[in-house]
Amino acid sequence: MKKLLPALLAAGLAFAPLSFARAQDGQEPAQNAASSEEAAAGQDAGAEAAEEGHAETPHYPLKHPEQLSWSFAGPFGHWDVGQLQRGLKVYKEVCSACHGMRLVAFRNLDDLGYSEEQVKAFAAEYTVQDGPNGDGEMFDRPGIPSDYFPSPFPNPEAAAAANNGAAPPDFSLLAKARAVTRGFPTFLFDLGTQYQEAGPDYIHALLTGYGQEPPAAVEPLIQPGTYYNPYFISGPALAMPPPIADDQVEYPDGSPQTVDQYSRDVAAFMMWAAEPHLAERKATGFVAMIFLVVFAGLLFVVKRRVWAGTPH
């Protein structure tokens, strides 16, 4: 008995740390589970709050542009030269007062059907800063075909100061840079139809979208000095006032002198400015596809002939 008691005490001391460790291991999963439940509850609450805030925040544009019919659309698209000339006229008489095209040269206008003399005369209507001269000073001169369309403002700061704090964007690539994302499944069909006219569609919708009454929920978001336009991609209103009105530009070819027609013409012209070789690219791609189909057929026929006598 005297020997048994010390043995039991020794066994108890040996197993006590192990029992304590097991107790802690049993408590930790419970604590981790409780922490996980609290974290999940917090995430659910945050998601609900985000959904509530998401529902209250309007998505821009408030209206999606209508998909229009363009001569340069589709795999066989081509430029309507008459429309491009009208668009150039609208740009020169209306848009060029605020927007430049610093990446488009006057010499490129021969793609619009103008002769060399007409391009020279058109370029000479603009004043271009050149230099320095022999005295180290900059000077002004008439434009020549190798010059680029000048900006109406000397720098972006001056442009912003003259336009209610918002510098007008350059028109060179605007038709490719501005587009409304088309959601699922529309963008899948766009792969087959080769839809690339989102920029012109947006420009036309923006120019024709003025004059509408804003919804009651959106009206408080419109800042003073801005103009409501449901097609604007960055907000409910923009600093640019309605830029054009009916009969503002005279068309010598008898085309309708309406805001809708002006918007179509200048949007097509801006698409040409952004991608002047679009028609050539589509024609080259079509020829390449025909070549690949014929080449694949020839490969199949040659393969059948070469391996015809080989047992399988």
Q: Which residue has the tokens 């087959």?
A: 192
The per-residue pLDDT for 3 is 52
% of the chain exceeding 90 in pLDDT: 66
Q: How far apart are CA 71 and CA 282, in angstroms?
A: 13
Nearest by Cα to 60 from 244, 283, 221, 263: 221
Does the predicted TM-score (pTM) go above 0.85? no
The per-residue pLDDT for 312 is 67
**SS3 call for 210:** coil
Which of 214 and 11 is assigned the larger pLDDT?
214
Nearest by Cα to 79 from 53, 107, 113: 113
Mean pLDDT value of segment 60-76? 93
For residue range 257-289, list pLDDT tens digits in order: 999 999 999 999 999 999 999 999 999 998 999
- Judge whether residue 12 has pLDDT over 60: no
Q: How is residue 149 written in tokens?
A: 């369309």
In contact, 226 and 242? CB cutoff 8 Å: no
The per-residue pLDDT for 183 is 78
Q: How far apart are CA 74 and CA 79, in angstroms?
A: 12
The per-residue pLDDT for 181 is 84
For residue range 200-250, list pLDDT tens digits in order: 999 999 999 999 999 999 999 999 989 999 999 999 999 999 999 999 999
Q: Where are the domains of the chain?
A: 114-147
Q: Which residues are annotated as a binding site for heme c?
A: 95, 98-99, 240
For residue range 97-151, list pLDDT tens digits in order: 999 999 999 999 999 999 999 999 999 999 999 988 888 889 999 999 999 999 9
Mean pLDDT value of segment 26-54? 43
Which of 189 and 228 is assigned the larger pLDDT?
228
% of the chain exceeding 70 in pLDDT: 82
Q: Which residues are annotated as a binding site?
A: 95, 98-99, 240
In contact, 139 and 130? CB cutoff 8 Å: yes
Q: Is 210 left (phi over 0), alpha (psi -120 to 50) or beta?
A: beta
